[in-house]
Amino acid sequence: MANEENTKVENMKLDDMQRVKVLSPSALVLKRFFRNKLAIIGMVIIICMFLFSFIGGMVIPYGQSQVFYTTEEMKKDYAGATYISDYMMYEAEGAEVPSDLYSKSILAITKNQKVVETRGGGNLALRPLTGDSFIIYGAEETKNPRALKSKEHDQAVASGDNYFEYDDVAYIADDASGKELLYIASEMAVICKLSLTPYTAGTTLSYDFYKNALLAMSGKEKTFEADGLNYTVEMDGEETAMVFAADGSDYAYISNMNINSVIGGVFLAPDFKEAAALAIQDGAESFEYTDADGVTDTYLLSENNGQYLISRFQETRVIDTYAQPSEEHWLGTDANGMDLLARLMYGGRISLLIGFVVVIIEVIIGMIVGGVAGYFGGWVDNILMRLVDVIYCIPSMPLYLILGSIMDHYRASATVRIYMLCVIMSIIGWVGIARIVRGQILSLREQEFMVAAEAMGISVGRRIFKHLIPNVVPQLIVFASMGLGEVILAEATLSYLGLGIKYPAASWGSIINAVNDSYVMTNYLFVWVPAGILILLTVLAFNFIGDGLRDAFDPKMKR
Partner 1 sequence: MKKFVIKRLLISVVLLFFVSMIIYGIMRCMPASFVETKAMELSQKPGAKSYDEWLEQLNAAYGLDSGIIQGYVTWASKAVRGQFGDSWNYNQPVLQKFSSVIWYSFALALASFILEIIIAIPAGVAAARKQYSLTDYSITVIALIGISLPSFFFATILKWIFAIKLNWLDLYGIVGRMHQQLSPAGQILDMAKHMIMPVATLTIVNIGSLMRYTRTNMLEVLNSDYIRTARAKGLPERKVINHHAFRNILIPIITLLGGTLPSLFGGALITETLFQIPGIGYTSYQCIVLGDIPFVMFYMLFSAVLILAGNLLADILYAVVDPRVRVN
Residues that bind partner 1 (CB under 8 A): 37-38, 386, 389-390, 392-395, 397-399, 401-403, 405-406, 409-410, 485, 489, 492-493, 496-497, 509, 512, 515, 518, 521-522, 525, 528, 532, 535-536, 539-540, 542-544, 547, 556-559
Q: Which is nearer to partner 1, 425 or 453 (CB)?
A: 425
Q: Which is nearer to partner 1, 287 or 544 (CB)?
A: 544
Distance in Å, CB of 72 to partner 1, minimum: 27
Question: What HEC string does 283-329 produce?
Answer: CCCEEEEECCCCCEEEEEEEEECCEEEEEEEEEEEEECCCCCCCCCC
CA 24 to chain centre: 61
Catalogue the long-range contacts made by 442-447 (C-beta closer than 8 Å, 24 or more residues apart). 442/374, 442/377, 444/468, 444/471, 444/472, 445/374, 445/375
Do 342 and 60 touch, CB atoms closer than 8 A? yes
Distance in Å, CB of 477 to partner 1, minimum: 18
Distance in Å, CB of 543 to partner 1, minimum: 5
Chain length of the chain: 559
Neighbours of 70 (CB within 10 A): 14
Q: What is the bridge-based pairing of β-strands 115-117 and 195-198?
A: unpaired
Distance in Å, CB of 36 to partner 1, minimum: 10
Q: Which is nearer to partner 1, 74 or 536 (CB)?
A: 536
Q: Which is nearer to partner 1, 392 or 465 (CB)?
A: 392
Q: Which is nearer to partner 1, 8 or 31 (CB)?
A: 31
Q: Which is nearer to partner 1, 262 or 406 (CB)?
A: 406
Distance in Å, CB of 492 to partner 1, minimum: 5
Distance in Å, CB of 487 to partner 1, minimum: 12
Q: What gap in Å lies between CA 230 and CA 347, rounded to an integer?
A: 75
Q: Which is nearer to partner 1, 407 or 453 (CB)?
A: 407
Distance in Å, CB of 558 to partner 1, minimum: 8
DSSP character for 143?
-
Q: What is the CA radius of gyration of the chain?
A: 47
Distance in Å, CB of 308 to partner 1, minimum: 41
DSSP codes, 126-176: EEE-STT-EEEEEEEEE--HHHHHSHHHHHHHHTT--EEEETTEEEEEE-T
Do 163 and 156 touch, CB atoms closer than 8 A? yes
DSSP codes, 56-70: HHHHSSS-TT-B-EE
| DSSP SS3 for 501 | coil
Q: Which is nearer to partner 1, 348 or 509 (CB)?
A: 509
Q: What gap in Å lies between CA 559 and CA 557, rounded to an integer?
A: 6
Distance in Å, CB of 397 to partner 1, minimum: 5
Q: Which is nearer to partner 1, 397 or 416 (CB)?
A: 397
Which residues is 181 bridged to in the sheet?
174
Q: Which is nearer to partner 1, 98 or 509 (CB)?
A: 509
Contacts of 370 (CB under 8 A, 6+ apart): 433, 434, 435, 436, 437, 438, 441
Do 183 and 141 touch, CB atoms closer than 8 A? yes
Q: What gap in Å lies between CA 1 and CA 171, rounded to an integer?
A: 132
Q: What gap in Å lies between CA 186 and CA 201, rounded to an integer?
A: 32
Q: Which is nearer to partner 1, 268 or 521 (CB)?
A: 521
Distance in Å, CB of 90 to partner 1, minimum: 50
Do 210 and 201 touch, CB atoms closer than 8 A? no
- Burial environment of residue 362 by CB neighbours within 10 A (0 to 12, 13 to 18, 19 or more): buried
